[in-house]
Amino acid sequence: MQLEVIGIGGAGCQIVDAIRAAEPADRSFVADVFAFDTDGEALPKYTDVPESHRYQYGQDVGLDAGLDGELQRGLEVGEEHVDELERVLDRGASAAADGFLVAVGLGGATGGGTVPALVATLQRRYDEPVYVLATLPADREFEPAVDGAPEAGRADTPPENGGGSSESGSAIASETANGPSRPNAAANAIETLERLDGLASAIVPFDNERWLRTGEGLVDGRDRCNRELARRVTAVFAASAASGDSVAETVIDASDIGRVMGNETAVVSLGYGEQPVETGGSRFGLGLFATEPDVETSSAVSAVETVVRKGIHDTLTLECERDAAERALLIVGGPPAWLNRRAIAEGRGTLESTIGGRGILGGDAPRPDGEAVFAAVVFADVEPVDRLEELRAATQERHRV
């Protein structure tokens, strides 16, 4: 599967940059990549995006100063500039893509305001699916700031990462030393998700609140969370990319991804598990004359079982009840000698029983140069989700105040 990957706003652009950096060179699934931001000073930082595909918009309405969390104005700006962004996309290979992946950080007004108009435009122009990768704000972003502390991300308070807009500049928003900055974050996130309902083919949320470590600041966790998200996205979509090195026993293609993700704005969550394994090499320890390792069946079975269990039960991009999923996909990858077929089949059976025997697809992803066995799990159509209900409740509470 070949995707055109588009980042909107600081958060979306940094996520796209992380995805581009993480994708395997021999199984590239990124047909083209774009970074759209209102912060012109941030655009040169996205070094994995071609310079001609980094584009600043909104200068005519002063977006470089931010929108101060006013989503309604952000929606107006999105409508005003979507034709402009569409013309920039014409520089790429949109017609050759099997689909689109649009990354955006929710909670702010700029990216969240632009993404509904852009997704609607892509759906109107192309017959291919449009998936939205959307980060959810952490609670500390919309709790009241400590008295006397400046509110980071406002137009009069430069964010710590050096950007000039009110967007976070990553999957994690910036903060001051004393407190968070975006009181409208929960309401903006929920409203943007509601506006995407019926537009996006599927939405893959990443919950910042769940992924931040205890005591970890928003800025401190930014790059780590982006890498974790990129690892999961890459594991899923690269499995459907062509490679001349090794052919999968059970190939995952674009139609399989489409069947699992759906086309009715299903909420999708991704799981991932990984275990380093012995990959062989020179008997002189010099890395020369590498040989295929002689893997014991029991070791291969154990490795596959371990990563499948982690993929199903470890932290998801969005925590949900696994048995609520209507559809699921399991991809097991790694050095070919470690991909035990019986264990992979049993892993599919485990996933099938986890979601109650509904639709399961599965495949393998040989990585001749890999040093770990991994499992990527897609849980599709998982609502209701507690975290989304928490954000809705926070929105209602703020409206009552």
Question: pLDDT tens digits, residue range 79-99?
Answer: 999 999 999 999 988 888 999
For the segment 352-372, the average pLDDT, to the nearest whole number, is 90
Write the pLDDT tens digit of every residue in 318-347.
Answer: 999 999 999 999 999 999 999 999 999 999
130-142 burial, b for 16+ CB within 10 Å, e for fewer?
bbbbbbbbbebbb
What distance in Å separates the CA atoms of residue 379 and residue 340, rounded to the nearest whole number?
23
C-alpha closest to that of 326 among 374, 286, 386, 378: 378
Listed range (40-54, 121-135, 164-178, 374-388) with the worst mean pLDDT: 164-178
What distance in Å separates the CA atoms of residue 99 and residue 196, rounded to the nearest whole number?
17
What distance in Å separates the CA atoms of residue 1 and residue 233, rounded to the nearest whole number?
13
Q: Domain extents for the chain? A: 3-240, 266-380
Across all residues in the chain, what is the average pLDDT? Answer: 85
Reduced 3-state DSSP string for 12-54: HHHHHHHHHHHCCHHHCCEEEEEEEECCCCCHHHCCCCCHHHE
Architecture (CATH level 2) of domain 266-380: 2-Layer Sandwich (3.30)
The CATH homologous superfamily for domain 3-240 is Tubulin/FtsZ, GTPase domain (3.40.50.1440)
Q: Any idea which residue has 């019986």 for tokens?
A: 342
Q: Residue 136: which residues within 8 A CB-CB, separation 6 or more?
A: 106, 107, 189, 205, 206, 207, 208, 209, 318, 387, 391
Q: With the CA atoms of 10, 11, 12 and 13 taken in that order, what torsion angle do they form, in degrees rounded to the nearest 10?
A: 50
pLDDT at 30 over 60: yes
What distance in Å separates the CA atoms of residue 365 and residue 373, rounded to the nearest whole number?
10
Write the pLDDT tens digit of every residue in 149-205.
Answer: 433 333 333 333 333 344 444 445 444 432 446 888 999 999 999 999 999 999 999
